[in-house]
Structure 1
C-alpha cells in the first residue's frame, strides 16, 4: 500500500476507533482532523499532532486527503460525504447512511457519479461470527432458511442523550433506537436472511419520553424476498447492554448468535465459533471489527468498482427503519422522509 493520507471529520465518541484503525495501517497516515466544536478539535490536534480545521472544505483544500472518515452527527453524513465524493475524495462514513430517505438517495446518486469510493460502517459484517453465519448459509449445506429472529436489549439513560442532544431528536438523529443502535442488527438480519420486501412494525417511546422525542423501543415482523419470515424486537429500557441475539433456523441446523456463535445440527452435533477479542479504547457495544472494515476499504482503493458495503447497500437498512417509522407515525412526515 502506497503512502495514503487520511483525515477524520468529527472528533466525537466513535472517532476513537477510527483513529486506532488508521494508526495500525501500514502505508496510511493521519494528515488532518476536523470538528466544529473547538474543544474537541483542540483535543484531537493535541493528541495526534496534525492540522485541525473547523470545516471539511478547508481540510480538503489544505491537506488533500486520499480518504476521509466521517464520524459526525447523522444529519450531516450525506451532505459532507457527497461533497467529499464530488471533490474526488474517498469516504468512510459511520452508519446510518443518512438521517432521511431523501438524503440517503442523494448520497447514493453522488456515489454513482464519483470515481471515488464510499464505505458505510456496518462493521459487524466483519465479525468472525457473522462471517461464519454467512459462509454456512451461502454454502447451501444447511438447506433452506426456515425463519429468523433477532433482539437488541440495551440500556441508555438520560445522561447519554444530554451529553449529545442531537441523538434524541428527529432533526439530528433521524430517529432513535432503530437509527442509532439497532440498525446494525437490522443490517445483519437482511444481509444474512435476504432483502426485506415487506414488514409490519411499530416504534414508540416507552420510558425516556421526558428526555427524547424519538423512539426507545421498536418491533417488527418482516417478509424477505426468499419467502422467509423474521421477527425483531429492540429496546433501550433493559437494565444492561445484553448481547445482541440473532437466531436463524434452517432445514438442517440452527444458528444462534449470543456473542459467540453456536451451530446446532439436526444430528446433534454442536459447533461454536468464538468472536474475536480485541483491545480498544472504543465502547464494547461498537463491536470489534471497525479495524477490519477500514483496512479492507483502503486495500481496495486501487480496485475498480464500488466497495461492497456502499451507499446502495446501506440504503437497505435505512429503508427498513424508515418504514417502521412510517407505520408508527402516520401524521408526521418529517420522521419518515
Structure 2
C-alpha cells in the first residue's frame, strides 16, 4: 500500500486529507507545514507525525507519494526534490509561480522515474467529461468558437489572511494564477492548444490590498482554428457559476455547473454534476477525490499520468503570456 504525505496544511489540503481518508489503497504517514499551529492541528487530527522541514519528512517518513498544497512559490522546489528522490507527486495548481521554475520542474519530471499529477480536477467533472466525449466523437462537427467567464468575489480579508496570494513574489500573479487558471485549463483542453493570445489584466477592486490583478480578459486562437473569448473578475458581489460555452457546427454546449447540449435540430440534453459532501469550498468542485484515486490506481502502470507537468505547463504559459502583455517585467517582479 503506498504511503502518502501532505506538505502544506492550509485551506485546500482538506480535500486531499478527505480523498486519502476515503481510499483503501493508501496510507497517510506524515504531514508537513512551516506554520506550527497548522502543523500541530493536522498531526493531531490525523494521528501522524508532523514535520517543519519537508526534506526531514522525506528522510524520516519515506513516503511513496507526496501531496503538495503549499503557496505557489514553493511548488517547484518541493516537487523537484520529491521527483529527484523517486517520490510520486500530486501537485496543486499552478505548476509553478514562474515560467523558469515551471521549465525546471518539467525537466525534473522528464528525468524522474516517479509520476506527477497536476490538480486540474475539474476535468473529471461529469459534465466536462461529456463535453470532451461529444467533441472527440465528431458528431457535433467542427468547433466554431467558445467563451468562458469566472465572475467571483474576494475581499481584502481573503488576501490579508494569506498575504502571499496578493503578491508577485510568492503568488506569481493573482486571479489568473489562483482562481481562473482552472477555467483556462478547461478552455484549452476542450477547444485545443492556444497558439495566439491578446488580452489584458488589471486591478479594479482591490488595488489598496494587492499588487496583482483581480480582473482579466483575453481572446485566444486555438490550434483547431477556433477562437475563444475569456473574462474573469474577483470584483463580482457573489461567486457566480463558472460559464463555458462552445459552439459547434451541429450543437451548442453550455456549462453552468451542469451541462446543457442544444442541437441544431431542436433536441436538448442535460448532464448533471455529481453532488458530494466535502469540507472543501464549493467552488473547488467535486472531483479532487476522483483525480487522486485515479492517480494512485495508475502508479504501477507504465507511462505518465494524463494530467502531468506538461499538461500543467499549458495553462501556466497562457497566464504568463497575458501577464507579459499587461505587466512588462512581471517575471522580474516574481523572481
Whether the TM-score (by the shorter chain) exceeds 0.5 is: yes
Q: CA separation in 1, counterparts of 2:106 and 2:121?
A: 19
Query: CA shift at 1:118, angstroms?
Result: 0.3
Summarize the alignment of residues 298-309 of structure 1 with structure 2, pairs less than 5 Å apart.
298-309=296-307
Aligned to 1:144: 142
Q: Is the 8 A contact 1:326 1:336 kept in 2?
A: no
| Corresponding residue number in structure 2 for 1:311 | 309
Correspondences of 1:192-211 after superposition (within 5 Å): 192-211=190-209
Q: CA deviation at 1:155?
A: 0.2
1:169, 1:175 within 8 Å by CA — same for their partners in 2?
yes
Q: Write out per-residue CA displacement over residues 231-253 of structure 1, whole angstroms, 9 at most, x where no aligned residue.
A: 00000000000000000000000
Which runs of 4 or more aligned residues in structure 1 lie more than 3 Å from their structure 2 counterparts after TM superposition?
none
Question: Is residue 127 of structure 1 aligned with residue 125 of structure 2?
Answer: yes
- Report the equivalent of 1:22: 20
Q: 1:34 maps to which residue?
A: 32
Pick the aligned partner of 1:242 from 240, 243, 263: 240
In the alignment, is residue 85 of structure 1 matched against residue 59 of structure 2? no
Aligned pairs for 1:45-56 within 5 A? 45-56=43-54
Q: TM-score, normalised by structure 2?
A: 0.99
Residues 323 and 330, structure 2, Cα contact 8 Å, conserved in 1: no
Looking at structure 1, the residues matched to 330 and 166 of structure 2 have their Cα atoms a distance apart, in angstroms, of: 16
Change in CA separation of 1:335 and 1:251 when aligned onto 2, cut-off 3 Å: farther
Q: Provide Cα deviations, 1:110-162, integer angstroms capped at 9, x if missing partner.
A: 00000000001000000001100000000000000000000000000001001
Structure 2 stretches of 5 or more lacking a match? none
Counterparts of residues 150-161 of structure 1 (less than 5 Å): 150-161=148-159
- C-alpha displacement at 1:331, in angstroms? 4.3
CA contact (8 A) 1:175 1:335 kept: no
The root-mean-square deviation of aligned C-alpha atoms, in Å, is 0.9
Alpha-carbon distance between aligned partners in 1 of 2:331 and 2:297, rounded to the nearest angstrom: 41
* TM-score (normalizing by structure 1): 0.98
Give the distance between the partners of 2:96 and 2:238, measured in 1 at CA.
Answer: 28
Aligned pair partner of 1:101 in 99, 102, 118: 99
Question: Secondary structure of 2:31's match?
Answer: strand
Aligned to 1:30, what secondary structure does the other structure show? Answer: strand
Q: 1-side partners of 2:330 and 2:162: how far apart?
A: 24
Q: CA deviation at 1:211?
A: 0.3
User: Distance in 1 between the 2:251 and 2:229 partners?
Assistant: 18
Count of matched residue positions in the alignment of Structure 1 and Structure 2 = 335
Deviations 1:17-55 (A, max 9, x none): 000000011121110000000000000011011001001
Q: Distance in 1 between matches of 2:333 and 2:145?
A: 30
Q: Secondary structure at the match of 1:207?
A: coil
2:253 corresponds in structure 1 to 255
Return 5+ residue gaps in structure 1 as ranges: none
> 2:50 and 2:334 mapped to 1: Cα distance?
36
Per the alignment, do residues 5 and 333 of structure 1 end up closer, same or farther by CA in structure 2, a change over 3 Å counting?
closer
Contact kept, 8 Å, 2:170 with 2:334, in 1: the verdict is no
Alpha-carbon contact 2:203-2:213 (below 8 Å) kept: yes
For the structure 1 residues 83 and 244, does the alpha-carbon distance in structure 2 shift closer, same or farther, using more than 3 Å as the test?
A: same
Shift of 1:336: 7.6
Shift of 1:4: 1.3
